[in-house]
């Protein structure tokens, strides 16, 4: 019914609502178990403005999430019975397979056997909600891998941290346990300095090791033959988890016997320990393999990979000790972990030094006694001379003190810069990692490094990469509680935020420059602020709170007046919304009602009818109707003019928390039952909202438009479509009239609790419990921009009216703003399932083409990274190229097939003449012909329109590795593994020249870009390059200097310089006319795959070290390292305007890089950093991360004018 006052029993409803509100917590519990229950309990406690109800796991109070893995979650919890913090490992409810449960149980049993300072202690194992958990010692610190990666360490420091880990393993062996999965990730280095071995999930009980029986079957199941004296004794740690021969462990650290599925013993752990120690000492693992089979072969044969350039830093005796532990035969390793540890502790060099020192002390003592007598006799005659020398020494010391003061100042500055660069590395964005990454803090640290540190190539590279990441323009840190509401002023001259503690803040803001970082407290409610809204003019700010009040504050007031009370509900207010005109405000409340407030007259209409809390309210685009959603599982439609009920919308089976109009014709509702239901509105009898004219409110059950299968957490609308999100992080964009065309947007790993379309409706922004915000294309195409930095879950977002600025609010009490117009440095193209073999760009510079071993070629939009199409073949691709007009693509496959695709129609021609793999393809300049080069040594010329074979170019004695048409299409050039380059007549197939001289395969050739120059350049396996000025091979210029084979060669745009790329890790620049060496580019740590000129003064190279480097040539040569790929970068293509490039990698991805953003000028970079973010380090963070004293930190904060 509609009334003007509430006359029902508030207390009874409050009790009922306290039961209903936890329904928010219970929703989806059957789908996601304890974690969903925990998320909703946290949010509900903040919403209702009550002290957060502790999330209990039996007697443990869960404090926060520590991490997640494939099988489950790890939480920090408090044991109030024993007054200690514990770590709880909880098996996911969806991972209830017996093996997963057994593995977690085994870990608890194994660790419970041990009591050792270097092993994590287990306290208890139990279950809750049918989910198994283990409570264990909480170690605050890092795992060993992260610890070693924090900074460069000496071999002695590395050994010092591995020794206690070895002691922990030795203790496990003494207790009859084999770890079977020792690796740096399973070793914890506490902030207290203590090292502990953890994760005994694969631990296996062992008996006393018997001597090998030469007559025994080596492939027999080691668990099928128990000792007779142990018959009938059941050890749960002896129970096999998997069938005989299955791999258990992490392959990179596994011993040969693990690859072979044989029995594991203490020597297996010793092998894994030595693999990890070798990796710590040399920065790379001892065994390498392109795949699991190759790795297993290297491990089983003992084929240790060369340690690289830093070998000299590790003493030979230490290498010998570790190599023995890496022996393929267990009997050839150290007899036990204690034996290995003893060998590691015996440093022969240190022992020799101690003996030499002892002899020197003895000798010095004898000499001293003899000299004392002589000194006593001569002391008098030296006194006068000594006074003279004392005076002179003091003068010299004064000079040295002045010089030393300057040196000390420089040294201190370098030390501070080194510290900040070290801390920067811990905050920089890492691929696929959000935990502890904050590019904004990284940028702040880079800004603080002084002028001397900014000339370091590491700083220049770091600054360029950081500027290319999504940075928080401002970090607003005034609140002390969870952020629960955000709103931009319509004119973008202010940003407002509110928190769970009731405080409302205003922050200085400008569309041109963003937030300044300065803010002020406006007022405070007595409960959580659930909504902040501004009227269309931006002159009135309204806040709604769990304290039951709705208050208005005039934003134009010069002083801070007390906010006006608009209405007081009998229970907490859940939402407040303005109608499009700004004259009517709607509120919803847990008192089971909604209200319409006319702001000019303050006339209030109460909308009564729901039987439980009203959770949401919204207006239609005309402001004529209002929609409410309730915990009574229904939504209701009302007429604004008089509050008359128009429709009861039923169909949900659980509370409805979200309701929105989609245009004027549809209503959508989202519920904890996991569905979004749609209701089509009609205008019968002149009454909008009526399906039929019954003269009264009608009932409509609607239809489930989309079923998430988990509780709906947010809904946003845009024109004729809406987006919905759920507690598991899934997001869908749906048009109600065509739900079958729904688009799924994935990426979040935690529940999405807020989402909104940008004003242009092209993008959807989401915030999640995983601590990130994502900016995704609303059509689901292209990669999302991931915004990281918040330390805890995100709950709220706001977008400015222009669409430029985004504000996010988090559980960490911070508000961050992001400039959405800042272009990213790189766009990842990730859809292939296998390594990329080639990358190309069309001549228009609008599309990218990638070819992969997964048998597909993919087309991408070069501007957005959206995938435009997939060309699927039957066999892996080696090459793909565009036709000159961009209307066709040719692909070459490993089975010898060539396919020509018509992109508009999808039609293809298949050309099957090659007997083996196609290595290269090239269209003629007019696109009428296609040349294909094969491993069969033959180059074929095809009619690109009909597929007819025109010519076969035979003459090479080995695979043809590259083919290219001449500028006018009259000639064809081919390079071969037979060490020759041949020039052919493209019309007749006649050989015009054979260029000989190389003594190894020609991997690459390049033609001079100068139209009047016939020069060619070649790169060969014989460690040399050659420049051929004409068709006479005797005229070639030989370029020598590389020490390994060459992979690539290229001319600069003017044809005056040549660059070569080699497996020796260097690129070299040569004079194209004289062959004189001009420069050697050193910086890559592994083999180069290619290099090319961007212009006459800039070169880009790519290598096996997973990076690209941009080099600036000249006297003050510099380099910018571009990291992002996780495996070797094997391909590169440059855009026609040379402003961007695309890299291709073995990791299966390509990346578009905006070269125009890069700079080698420190002054330019530091100004860009200052413009990109106004954030700065606070006192606590400076003390924690930089080691500054409180006084130093406060002085730095004051100097930087931090707010």
Cβ proximity of 190 and 162 under 8 Å: no
Q: Are residues 305 and 287 in contact, defined by beta-carbon separation less than 8 angstroms?
A: yes
Beta bridge partners of 806: 799, 818
> Is the separation of the CB atoms in 437 and 427 below 8 Å?
yes
The CB density around residue 5, as the number of other CB atoms within 10 Å, is: 7
- How far is it, in rounded angstroms, from Cα 434 to Cα 395? 58
Q: Which residue has the tokens 């420059």?
A: 513
Rounded Cα distance between 231 and 238, Å, is 13
DSSP 869-883: EEEE-SS-EEEEEE-
1051 with 1016: CB under 8 angstroms? Answer: no
User: CB of 828 within 8 A of CB of 783?
Assistant: yes
d(CA 1141, CA 1059): 18
In whole angstroms, give the CA distance from residue 253 to residue 810.
39
Mutual angle of helices 457-467 and 348-427, in 10-degree steps: 30
What per-residue string of b and e applies to 657-668 under the rule 16 or more CB within 10 Å gives b? bbbbbbbebbbb
H helix or E strand, kind and range, residue 423: helix 348-427
Active site residue: 17, 181, 579, 591, which one?
181
What's the CA gap between 1193 and 1186, in Å, rounded? 9
Spatial contact of 1026 and 981, defined as CB atoms under 8 Å apart: no
Cβ atoms of 1064 and 1086 closer than 8 Å: no
Structure tokens at 1142: 């695309």
Active site residue 199: no
DSSP 1172: H
Place of tokens 């142990």: 230
Q: What is the dihedral of CA 217, 219, 222, 227, to 10 degrees?
A: -10
Residues 363, 418: Cα–Cα separation, whole Å: 43
Strand partners, 1153: 826, 1141
Report angle CA 594, 596, 597 to the nearest 5 degrees.
130
Q: Which among 411, 466, 183, 438 has a CA at the least distance from the CA of 1158?
A: 466
Pairing state between β 815-819 and 55-57 = unpaired
How far is it, in rounded angstroms, from Cα 114 to Cα 480?
42
Instruction: Give the separation between CA 1002 and CA 626, rounded to whole angstroms.
Output: 74
Q: What is the spatial distance between Cα 203 and Cα 342, in angstroms, rounded to a whole number?
A: 24
Count CB neighbours of 912 within 10 A: 12
Strands in 138-180 per DSSP E: 141-143, 177-178
- Per the DSSP assignment, residues forming a β-bridge with 666 are 662, 680
Q: Residue with structure tokens 């083409």?
A: 849
Per the annotation, does 1045 bind a ligand?
no
Query: CA dihedral in degrees (210, 212, 214, 220; nearest 10)?
Result: 90
Quick one: which of 64, 194, 104, 80 has its CA closest to 142? Answer: 194
Q: Bridge-partner residues for 920, per DSSP?
A: 933
Residues facing residue 565 across a β-bridge: 551
What is the rounded distance in angstroms from the CA atom of residue 11 to the CA atom of residue 692? 38
Number of DSSP helices (H) and strands (E) in the chain, helices first = 18, 77
Phi, psi of 1115 (to 5 degrees): -65, -40
Q: Which parts are annotated binding residues?
A: 89
Write out the catalytic residue numbers. 181
Annotated binding site for ATP: 89
């Amino acid at each position: 019914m509609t009334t003007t006052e509430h006359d029902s029993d508030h207390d009874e409803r409050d009790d009922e609502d306290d039961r209903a509100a936890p329904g928010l917590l219970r929703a989806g519990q059957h789908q996601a178990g304890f974690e969903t229950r925990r998320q909703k309990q946290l949010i509900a406690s903040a919403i209702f403005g009550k002290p957060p109800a502790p999330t209990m796991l039996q007697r443990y109070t869960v404090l926060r999430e520590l991490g997640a893995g494939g099988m489950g979650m790890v939480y920090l919890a408090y044991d109030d019975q024993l007054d200690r913090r514990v770590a709880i490992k909880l098996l996911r409810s969806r991972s209830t397979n017996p093996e997963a449960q057994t593995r977690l149980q085994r870990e608890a049993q194994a660790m419970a056997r041990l009591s050792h300072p270097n092993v994590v202690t287990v306290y208890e194992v139990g279950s809750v909600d049918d989910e198994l958990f283990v409570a264990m010692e909480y170690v605050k610190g890092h795992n060993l891998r992260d610890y070693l990666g924090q900074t460069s360490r000496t071999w002695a420091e590395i050994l010092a941290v591995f020794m206690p880990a070895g002691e922990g393993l030795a203790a496990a062996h003494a207790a009859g346990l084999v770890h079977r999965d020792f690796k740096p990730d399973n070793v914890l280095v506490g902030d207290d300095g203590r090292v502990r071995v953890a994760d005994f999930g694969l631990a296996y009980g062992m008996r006393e090791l018997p001597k090998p029986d030469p007559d025994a079957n080596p492939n027999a199941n080691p668990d099928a033959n128990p000792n007779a004296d142990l018959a009938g004794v059941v050890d749960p740690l002896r129970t096999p988890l998997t069938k005989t021969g299955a791999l258990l462990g992490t392959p990179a650290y596994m011993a040969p016997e693990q690859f072979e599925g044989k029995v594991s013993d203490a020597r297996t752990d010793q092998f894994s320990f030595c693999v990890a120690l070798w990796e710590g000492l040399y920065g790379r693992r001892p065994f390498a393999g392109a795949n699991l089979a190759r790795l297993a072969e290297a491990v089983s044969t003992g084929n240790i990979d060369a340690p690289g350039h830093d070998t000299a830093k590790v003493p030979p005796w230490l290498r010998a000790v570790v190599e023995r532990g890496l022996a393929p035969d267990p009997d050839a390793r150290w007899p036990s972990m204690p034996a290995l540890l003893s060998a590691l502790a015996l440093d022969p060099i240190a022992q020799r030094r101690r003996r030499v020192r002892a002899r020197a002390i003895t000798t010095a003592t004898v000499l001293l006694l003899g000299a004392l007598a002589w000194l006593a006799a001569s002391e008098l005659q030296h006194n006068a001379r000594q006074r003279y020398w004392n005076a002179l020494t003091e003068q010299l010391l004064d000079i040295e003190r002045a010089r030393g003061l300057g040196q000390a100042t420089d040294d201190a500055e370098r030390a501070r810069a080194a510290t900040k660069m070290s801390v920067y590395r811990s905050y920089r964005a890492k691929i696929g990692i959000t935990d502890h990454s904050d590019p904004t803090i990284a940028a702040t640290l880079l800004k603080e490094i002084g002028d001397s540190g900014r000339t370091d190539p590491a700083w220049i590279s770091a600054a360029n990469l950081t500027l290319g990441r999504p940075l928080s323009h401002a970090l607003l840190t005034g609140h002390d509680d969870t952020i629960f509401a955000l709103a931009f002023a319509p004119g973008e001259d202010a940003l407002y935020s509110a928190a769970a503690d009731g405080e409302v803040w205003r922050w200085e803001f400008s569309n041109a420059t963003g937030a300044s970082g300065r803010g002020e407290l406006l007022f405070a409610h007595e409960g959580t602020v659930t909504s902040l809204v501004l009227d269309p003019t931006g002159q009135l700010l309204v806040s709604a709170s769990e304290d039951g009040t709705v208050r208005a504050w005039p934003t134009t007031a010069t002083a801070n007046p007390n906010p006006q009370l608009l209405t007081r509900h009998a229970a907490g207010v859940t939402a407040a919304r303005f109608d499009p005109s700004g004259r009517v405000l709607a509120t919803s409340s847990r008192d089971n009602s909604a209200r319409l407030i006319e702001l000019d007259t303050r006339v209030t209409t109460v909308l009564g009818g729901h039987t439980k809390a009203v959770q949401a309210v919204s207006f239609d685009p005309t402001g004529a109707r209002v929609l409410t959603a309730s915990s009574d599982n229904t939504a209701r439609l009302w007429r604004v003019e008089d509050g008359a009920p128009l429709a009861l919308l039923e169909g949900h089976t659980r509370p409805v928390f979200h309701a929105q109009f989609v245009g004027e014709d549809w209503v959508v509702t989202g519920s904890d039952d996991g569905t979004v239901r749609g209701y089509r509105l009609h205008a019968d009898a002149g009454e909008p909202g009526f399906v039929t004219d019954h003269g009264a409110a009608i009932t409509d059950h609607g239809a489930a438009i989309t079923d998430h299968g988990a509780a709906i957490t947010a809904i946003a609308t845009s024109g004729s479509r809406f987006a919905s999100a759920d507690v598991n992080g899934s997001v869908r964009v749906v048009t109600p009239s065509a739900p079958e065309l729904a688009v799924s947007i994935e990426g979040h790993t935690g529940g999405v609790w807020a989402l909104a379309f940008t004003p242009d409706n092209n993008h959807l922004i989401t915030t999640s419990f995983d601590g990130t915000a994502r900016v995704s294309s609303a059509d689901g195409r292209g990669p999302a921009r991931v915004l990281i930095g918040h330390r805890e879950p995100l709950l709220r977002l706001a977008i400015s009216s222009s669409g430029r600025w985004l504000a996010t609010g988090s559980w960490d009490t911070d508000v961050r703003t992001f400039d959405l117009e800042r272009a990213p440095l790189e766009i990842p193209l990730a859809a292939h399932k296998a390594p990329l073999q080639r990358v190309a760009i069309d001549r228009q510079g609008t599309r990218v083409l990638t070819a992969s071993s997964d048998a597909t070629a993919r087309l991408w939009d070069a501007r957005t990274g959206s995938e435009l199409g997939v060309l699927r073949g039957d066999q892996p691709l080696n090459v793909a190229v565009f036709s000159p007009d961009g209307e066709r693509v040719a692909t070459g496959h490993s089975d010898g097939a060539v396919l020509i695709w018509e992109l508009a129609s999808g039609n293809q021609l298949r050309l099957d003449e090659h007997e083996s793999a196609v290595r290269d393809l090239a269209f003629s300049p007019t696109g009428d012909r296609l040349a294909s080069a094969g491993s069969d040594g033959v180059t074929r010329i095809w009619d690109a329109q009909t597929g007819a074979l025109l010519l076969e170019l035979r003459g090479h004695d080995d695979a043809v590795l590259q083919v290219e048409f001449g500028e006018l299409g009259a000639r064809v050039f081919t390079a071969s593994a037979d060490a020759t380059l041949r020039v052919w007549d493209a019309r007749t197939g006649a050989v015009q020249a054979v260029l000989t001289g190389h003594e190894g395969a020609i991997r690459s050739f390049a033609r001079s870009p100068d139209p009047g120059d016939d020069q060619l350049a070649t790169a060969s396996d014989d460690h040399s390059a050659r420049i051929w000025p004409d068709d006479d091979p005797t005229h070639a210029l030989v370029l020598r200097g590389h020490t390994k084979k060459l992979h690539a060669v290229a001319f600069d745009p003017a044809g005056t310089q040549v660059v070569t790329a080699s497996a020796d890790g260097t690129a070299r620049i040569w004079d194209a006319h004289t062959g004189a060496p001009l420069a050697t580019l050193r910086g890559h740590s592994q083999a180069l795959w290619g290099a090319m000129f961007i212009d006459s003064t800039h070169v880009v190279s790519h290598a096996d070290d997973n990076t690209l480097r941009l080099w600036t040539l000249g006297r003050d040569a510099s380099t910018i390292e571009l990291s992002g790929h996780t495996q070797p970068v094997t391909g590169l293509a440059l855009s026609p305007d040379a402003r961007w490039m695309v890299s291709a990698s073995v990791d299966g991805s390509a990346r578009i890089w905006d070269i125009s953003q890069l700079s080698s000028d420190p002054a330019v970079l530091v100004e860009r950093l200052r413009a990109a973010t106004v954030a700065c380090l606070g006192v606590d963070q400076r003390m924690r991360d930089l080691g500054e004293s409180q006084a130093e930190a406060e002085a730095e904060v004051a100097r930087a004018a931090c707010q």
